[in-house]
Amino acid sequence: MNSELDSFFLKEKIWKSEFNKLRELCLSCNLEETLKWKQPCYMHQKKNILLIGGFKDFISLSFFKGALLKNQEGFLEKPGENSQTVRFFKFTSLKQIIELENTIKAHIFEAIEIEKLGLKVNSVEVTSKDYPVELVEIFQLNPKFHNAFEALTSGRQRGYLLHFNAAKQSATKTIRIEKYIPRILNSKGINDCVCGQSKRMPNCDGSHKNFEKPYF
């Protein structure tokens, strides 16, 4: 057990019993625990397997390569519609966790085997054909911005492109692109924390709203 995580769990107020139960399950599967991105992270031979996360309405058990799990019973969910890798259990009570204990452990052991085999999730590559005309035009005017966008991971690129392309009007697309130029130049994804205060790093949790200084 990790002493740093002991302190983390002691401070938990909303989901204390649920956190402790999930921790117990993870350790019973011989996973190593540490604190990453300010969340309990469980690993096998130094490879990330899953995270435990506490939110206002639920507690989650998120698998880094969840997309490769069979999920035959359909308990695993996507964090977002376009998520390609992570899948998670969502719990709202200790009773629910206890009832699914065997299922949870089966998923953990399956995730460990996936890591042992070195399997990887095949991501959908972003190509220039996904770029809206408005973005290409701004690239031509701002080569530095173009280079910064191309340097982003494909997942971050895809997040921006979904947002840009969702706008119906050309003017709206341009406004959206220009709004995120500073963020992209800073190598940040559309949902990444930029204020440095998020408790869900690298993701944004809205902490920037507590500051007067504008963040992009």
Q: Total structural domains in the chain?
A: 2
Say if residue 81 is in the same domain as residue 132: no
Say if residue 111 is in the same domain as residue 25: yes
pLDDT attached to residue 66: 92
Say if residue 8 is in the same domain as residue 109: yes
**Distance (Å, rounded) from C-alpha 139 to C-alpha 173?**
14
**Residue range of the domain that includes 92:** 3-116
Left (φ > 0), alpha (ψ -120 to 50) or beta: where does 37 sit?
left
Q: State the Rg of the chain over Cα.
A: 20
**CATH number where 33 lies:** 3.90.1150
pLDDT at 1 over 70: no
Secondary structure string (H, E, C) spanning 79-134: CCCCCCCCEEEEECCHHHHHHCHHHHHHHHHHHHHHHHCCCCCCCCCCCHHHCCHH
pLDDT attached to residue 205: 56
Query: Between 141 and 30, whose confidence is greater?
Result: 30
122, part of any domain: no
Say if residue 34 is in the same domain as residue 99: yes
Chosen domain end from 116, 137, 165: 116
